Structure 1
Amino acid sequence: MAAQLNLPLERPVVNSPVSDDNSDQTVTVTPPSKTLTLALNSPEGIDCYGNERKALLDQGKFYNNPVLSDIKLVVGGQKYYSHKLILVKCSDVFERMFSSDWSDENLKEVELKEDSICIGVFPRFLKFLYTNHIKLNTDNSLPILILADKYNIVDLKNVCINFASTCIIPKLQLKDVFHIWFQYATKCYHQTLITCSVQTLSDKMEDITSTVEWETEWMNLDQDQLIEFLKSSELIIKDEYALWKATIKWLNAPQNVEKIQENLKKVLCYIRFPMMVPEQLCEIESSAIVEQNTELFQHHLKSAYKYHSLPLTTRANMKEFSSSAFLLRNYSDLRWDKRLIIPKYSTLPKGEEVSLRFATRASSFPAQTWEWELKISPKGFSPTCDDLRTILYSNLILDQPRPVEYLLSVVGSDQILQSVCGRKNFTKARYSIDTELEKKISVSDLMTSNSPLLVNDCLHLQIHLKPVE
C-alpha cells in the first residue's frame, strides 16, 4: 500500500538547470531522505520543472508568426499575427476582448486604437507577451508603460516602473520629470513613480514653490498632486512656514479660490505645524484664512503650541507626538533639529561606524553655529558586539558649560517609531554623550527581513536639541 504524504514538510522540487542549448542534462537532487521517500510513494509525487528560459525562447518563435495564428492585431495599419492563448494568458483585458460575449468567435482580425506615441513601440510590447523580455530606453519606456497599463500586463508594468525609477527619472531634466513622469504617475496612481518623481524634484523645492520659472507648474497642481509633495519628508526647503506660504499661494490660485474650505480640509493634515517656531504659529493664527476657518485650524495649532511648551523628555513619552506631523523635512534653515539618513543599511559591514555631521543654532550671543557629530554603529560596535552604539559629540569649543536636552528618534515614512532622550551638561572636557539608543532598538531588530525600522533599506533618524536654562 502506497504511503500517504501527510506531513507539514515541504515536498522536494526538481528543477532543470538553466541552459540555452538543447543538450541533454543530468539533474541530481538530494532532498531530505524521509521527505523523498514519502513523496516518491505518494500519489501526488514530486514537483519537477523544466527549463523556463528555454521554454520562453521557444515560445518567442511564434511572435508575429502565421503558424497556428488565430487572430491578427491591426495597429496603425500594421498587422501582427497573434495567438489568443498567449494574449489571454497575459492579459485579462484581452481575455474579455476575445470572450464570446464581446466578440464574434470567428473573428480573425481586430483593430486596436492606440495613442500615436504607442504605435511605434507596439511590436516590442507584443513580443514581451511571448518572451517575457524587452529592451527599454529613455524614449520607449513611457509608451510601453501606457500599453502595459491599458492591457493590464502586470509583469511589464513592474519592469517599466522599476526601469524608469532607477534609470530615467533621476537623470532627467526636472521640467521633464514634472511634466512627463509625475503627471502620468499621479493620473494612473503609480506610487513608486510618484515617490521617485517627488524625491527627484525635492532638491529644488524652494525654486518650485517660490520662483517665477516654476509658478505655472505649482499653481496648476491638482489637489492630489499637491498632497504628494506635502506628504514627503524628502523636501529640501527653508522651513515648514515657507511650505505653508506656498500652500496658501496654491489655495488662492484662480481655479481653487472658490473651494478653499474644501481644499483646506484635505491638505491641512499634511502641514507640519509643530515644526514651525511659535512666532510663525502666531502669525498664522492671526491671518485671515484662519479667522475665516477657525474650526479647521484649531486642533493643528493647539497641538503645535502644546508640543513647543513641553521639554524634550516629556515629548518623547507622548504618543500623540508620534504622527507624521512631527517628522522633520530636510529644512535648510539653521535650527535646533536635524533629519539624518543612513542609506543602504543591508550593505553596511558589521562593526563599521558611521559619522553624521550636522549644525544647529547655538545658545550664545552673538549668534553662532554649533557643530555636532553623531557616531553610530548600525550593525554593532564590533564584529563580536551587537550593541547599536550611538554617541553624540559636540564639536564646538565651549568657553562655559552649556546644558542641553536631546531627543533622538528612529522614524518611518509616516511616524516616529522609537525615541531616546536625556540631558547633558556639555563642557570643554565633557563633550560627548552616549544616547543609549540600544536600549530601545537592537541590531537584530534592524536586520530582520523587511524590518519596519527601515525605509527602503535606509535608517532614518531625527534629532532635536534644546538648550536648558
Structure 2
Amino acid sequence: MVKQVAHVRAGMLLVAVCLRLQADAAGMLKVDGAQDGGGGGGGDVDTISHSLVLVQRLEALLVQGNASDVSLRVETPNADEVKVIQAHSLVLALQSPAFEELLLGRNSSTVVLRESSDCAAVFDKFIRYLYCGEVSLRLDQATPLHKLATKYQVLVLQQGITQYMTQNLARDSPSGHVAGWYEYALQAGDATLRDSCLQYLSWNLSSVLQSKEWVTISSQLLMSLLQRSDLVLQSEMELFAGLEAWIIQNEPDGLTAENALRAVRYAMMPPRELFRLQTQSSVLARYQESVRDLLYMSYQFHSASPLQMAKHFDVNCSLFVPRNYLSLAWGAPWVINNPTRDDRSTSFQTQLGPSSHDASKRVTWNALFSPRWLPLSMRPMYTETGAMQPTRVEGGRPRIIITPATSSADFAGVNFQKTVLVMAQQRGRLVVRHVYNFHQSTEENGDFLAEADLHRRASEYLVDSSLVLHIVVKPLYQTLIAAKN
C-alpha cells in the first residue's frame, strides 16, 4: 500500500512539473502573441507554437532527474557494464506499452533491464527519444536502436529507424552495413527493411562484389542473390569470380558450395571463359562433378541454334535466362541532358542472343525518350474531323520506346525483354534506383519515373541536370517451347 501511495505521489509530482512547464510556455505564448500586434477578425484562428521550449525542459527534467520516481538499471549479459538512468514512470508508460506493463508489476523503485552490449550502449539515446521525440544516430547505432524500439513497442521510432536504414543503404561504411541490416531484418521480421536491403544488393551487385562486405554475407543471403534474374552486374563471369572468393574465404560445407555453384548461369559465359574456368579455377576443379551436367548443357547451347536446343532441352530454365548485364554486348548507357525539354533518340547494337551460334549477329535498336507522353488510357484518339489528336502534351509522363531498326528471320522464336536501369545519386554515390522491364515501351509499366519529378533541380534522379540510364536487351526463348518434340 505504501509503495502504491509513493507511486501515486511521484506521478502527481511529475504531472505538476509538466503542468508548470506548460504554464510557463503558455505565458510565453501570450507575450509573443501580444508582440505580434493582434490578429484578424473574430473567426480567425492563429497558432503560435513554443513546443520546442517544452521539449527542452522535458530533456532537462531527464538530465537533472528532478521528480524521478524510477531508476532504470541497465545491465549487459555478463554484468560487466551497468548504466543507471533516473526516469519518470509517467513518461515511460505514456510512450511505451511495454514499459507501462513493466512498471505496473514492479515492487521496487529500481527496475533492472538486461540488454545486449550494443543496446546498452545506446540506451540513453533511446530514453532521450521518449522524452524529446528525436534521436541522433550513426549507421552502426541503427540496429540496436531498432531492437530497443521493437522490444519496448515504440512503434513510431521503429518505423522511423526502418525508414532511416532504407534511405542510407548507399552510405559508405568501413566494412559495409547492408548485408548486416538484411540479416537483422530477417531475424526481426521487418519485411520492409529486408526487401529494401535485398533489392539494393541485387541492383548494385557490381559494387557490392568489390566491397569488403561481400565475403561476410551469409549462405542464405548468397543463395537469395544467386537465384535472382534482376542482378545488375557486368557479366556472369564477374558473379562467378565473386562466388569463388566467397567460397575460398568461408569454406562452406560441400552441399552449400555445390548449391551455390549450380546457381551460376554458365550458358551466359562464352566458351572461351568456360574453358578458362575449367583449367584455372581451383573451386570449380574441386566441385566440377556437381556442375558437370550444367557445363555440358552450356557447351551444347553455344554449339547449336536455340531452335535446335529447344527440341531437346527446356530452354526456359534459369540456366538460359540472362541477368541485367552491363556489358556493351547486352545494351548501352544513355545520359539524357535536360530531360524535361524535348524528345531524344539514340541507337545502339546488341548481340542477337547469348549463344555463340548468334555471336556474330547484331541487332540495331532505336530508342526514343519523350518527357511528356500522354498515357494510352488518357489519350483522346480522334477529333470530330477524324484526325488523330497529338499525344505529347504538357503534364504527360516520361516514356521510352525501344524498337529494332529492321526485322529479321533470326528473330523467330526469340522474345526480347527490354530493361531500363534508372540511376540516382544517393549520399554522393551513383546507384541503381529503379529497374523497369517491358517489351517495347515503358508505357507497359504505367509507373515509369512517376516519382522522379524531373522538373525539380534537386531531384535525386538528376545527376548534373541529366537523367542517367542504362538500357539492357535480354533475349528470352520462351516461345520455343512449342517447337519441342
Deviation of 1:459 after TM superposition, in Å, equals 8.9
CA distance in 2, matches of 1:389, 1:223: 38
CA distance in 2, matches of 1:250, 1:357: 38
TM-score calculated relative to the size of structure 2: 0.53
1:377 maps to: 370
1:256 maps to: 252
CA distance in 1, matches of 2:214, 2:276: 24
Look up the equivalent residue of 1:383 and give its one-letter code. V
CA distance in 1, matches of 2:50, 2:304: 59
Q: Does residue 1:328 correspond to 2:341, yes or no?
A: no
CA distance in 1, matches of 2:159, 2:300: 41
Describe the superposition over 1:335-357 as per-residue Cα deviations: whole angstroms up to 9, x where unpaired.
2x2376999xxx974x6546677
Indicate the SS of the match to 1:204: helix
Deviation of 1:79 after TM superposition, in Å, equals 3.2
Q: Does residue 1:107 correspond to 2:112, yes or no?
A: no
2:385 maps to: none
CA distance in 2, matches of 1:274, 1:241: 11
RMSD over aligned CA atoms reads 6.1
Structure number with greater CO (CA < 8 Å, separation at least 6) is 2
Deviation of 1:127 after TM superposition, in Å, equals 1.5
Pick from 214, 236, 239: which aligns with 1:240? 236
Indicate the SS of the match to 1:409: strand
Describe the superposition over 1:250-290 as per-residue Cα deviations: whole angstroms up to 9, x where unpaired.
45666413434xx5447755x45564457767999997746
The number of residue pairs the alignment matches comes to 367
CA distance in 2, matches of 1:309, 1:28: 77
CA distance in 2, matches of 1:321, 1:331: 22
Q: Does residue 1:182 correspond to 2:197, yes or no?
A: no
Pick from 427, 438, 445: which aligns with 1:418? 438
Deviation of 1:109 after TM superposition, in Å, equals 0.9
- Residues 449 and 242 of structure 1: is their aligned pair in 2 closer, same or farther, counting only changes over 3 Å? closer
Indicate the SS of the match to 2:170: helix
Listed as ranges, the matches of 1:144-155 within 5 Å are 144-155=145-156
Describe the superposition over 1:159-196 as per-residue Cα deviations: whole angstroms up to 9, x where unpaired.
334435545x53425x421xx55335424434267348
1:45 maps to: none
Look up the equivalent residue of 2:70 and give its one-letter code. I
2:194 maps to: 191
Look up the equivalent residue of 2:205 and give its one-letter code. S
2:401 maps to: 390
Listed as ranges, the matches of 1:277-426 within 5 Å are 277=270, 289=287, 291-292=289-290, 309-310=306-307, 326=321, 328-332=323-327, 334-335=328-329, 337-338=330-331, 349=340, 352-353=342-343, 360=350, 374-377=367-370, 379-380=372-373, 382-384=392-394, 388=399, 390=401, 407-410=416-419, 418-420=438-440
User: Does the CA-based 8 Å contact 2:322-2:474 persist in structure 1?
Assistant: no
Deviation of 1:129 after TM superposition, in Å, equals 1.6
Describe the superposition over 1:111-151 as per-residue Cα deviations: whole angstroms up to 9, x where unpaired.
33445555554332212123321233467555544543554
Q: Does residue 1:81 correspond to 2:77, yes or no?
A: no
Pick from 213, 220, 226: which aligns with 1:224? 220
Listed as ranges, the matches of 1:82-97 within 5 Å are 82-91=87-96, 93-95=98-100, 97=102
CA distance in 1, matches of 2:350, 2:237: 18
